[in-house]
Amino acid sequence: MAKRKEKMSPYYESVHRAGRIWTLGALGVLLGVPVAICLRFNAWPEMDAVFKALVKVLPIYWGTAVIEVLTYTPMLGAGGTYLAFVTGNITNLKMPCALNALENAKTRAGREEGEVISTISIGVSAITTTVIITAGVLLFAPFLGTLTDPDSVFSPAFTYILPALFGALGAGYLRKHWRLSILPVVAGVVVLLFSPTMAVGTLLFVTLVVSIGGALLMLKLKWV
């Protein structure tokens, strides 16, 4: 006999329904951009040239997309996932932003409270980013070019933004869960010793699996 699926709460059901509609809408909007450009400027590209470029990037991008959907969905919650995948910049912005908000609100992904906090955090982050990029494009583009120019005094701040971001975010966890933290960081470094340019989306999958596997082992051995 077929197993009956457990019913989700009405809130979750409505989030998934709305999320699917918005995501498919976003896909339409996204594909509409090159179509509109080609129609307006009568500039349909040669398909074999596009295909040549796609062959180089698709295996990486589509492979990473599968890993990202599997990795981020449990961390971001339903609403957060639908929103984050449409608004982009997940690894370097939406995901750490949601983790920080969950930590501040003292809840976790997978709980309904966590779902709410994660969604609000990602939504606010998307709007803030949009406002900053829009203001930058319309008002500060010439000025920002000078600010972030490799010769600018402020350029290192942007070059090393990821160590700054994840160091600050990781500190709280390192302090509270130092036993859990050692294994995934060491695993990440060991993988990079053999493949230093590995894409972060792939490396992240490795460290996540090692971290959860290590935590289960430590629980069994009563080390944590």
Partner 1 sequence: MDFKESGFMYAIAACVIGFVVIESVYFIVKAWRAGRKLGISKETLKNTVVSSAVFSIAPALSILTTVIVLASALGIVLPWIRLSVIGNLAYETVASESMLEVMGSSLSTPITEPKQFGAVAWVMTLGTSFALVLVPIFCKGIHRRVGKVVNKSEKNSKMADVLSAAAFIGIIAAFIARAIYGKTADGVGDAGFMSIATLITAVIASFLLELLCEKCRLQKLQPFAMPLAMFLAMGMAVLLTQVVPEQIRAFTWWNQM
Q: Which residue, 2 or 157, has its beta carbon nearer to partner 1? A: 157
Could you tell me the smallest distance in angstroms from the CB atom of residue 165 to partner 1? 5
Could you tell me the smallest distance in angstroms from the CB atom of residue 81 to partner 1? 5
**Residue 70 interacting with partner 1 (CB under 8 A):** yes
Return the residue of 110, 139, 151, 221 that touches partner 1, per CB under 8 A. 110
Could you tell me the smallest distance in angstroms from the CB atom of residue 16 to partner 1? 5
**Residue 144 interacting with partner 1 (CB under 8 A):** yes
**Residue 66 interacting with partner 1 (CB under 8 A):** yes
DSSP code string of the chain: -PPPPPPPPHHHHHHHHHHHHHHHHHHHHHHHHHHHHHHHTT-PPPHHHHHHHHHHHHHHHHHHHHHHHHHHHHHHHHHHHHHHHHH--IIIIIHHHHHHHHHHTT--BTBHHHHHHHHHHHHHHHHHHHHHHHHIIIIIHHHHHHHHSTTSTTHHHHHTHHHHHHHHHHHHHHHH-HHHHHHHHHHHHHHHHH-TT--HHHHHHHHHHHHHHHHHHHHHTT--
**Residue 93 interacting with partner 1 (CB under 8 A):** yes
Return the residue of 1, 2, 3, 24 that touches partner 1, per CB under 8 A. 24
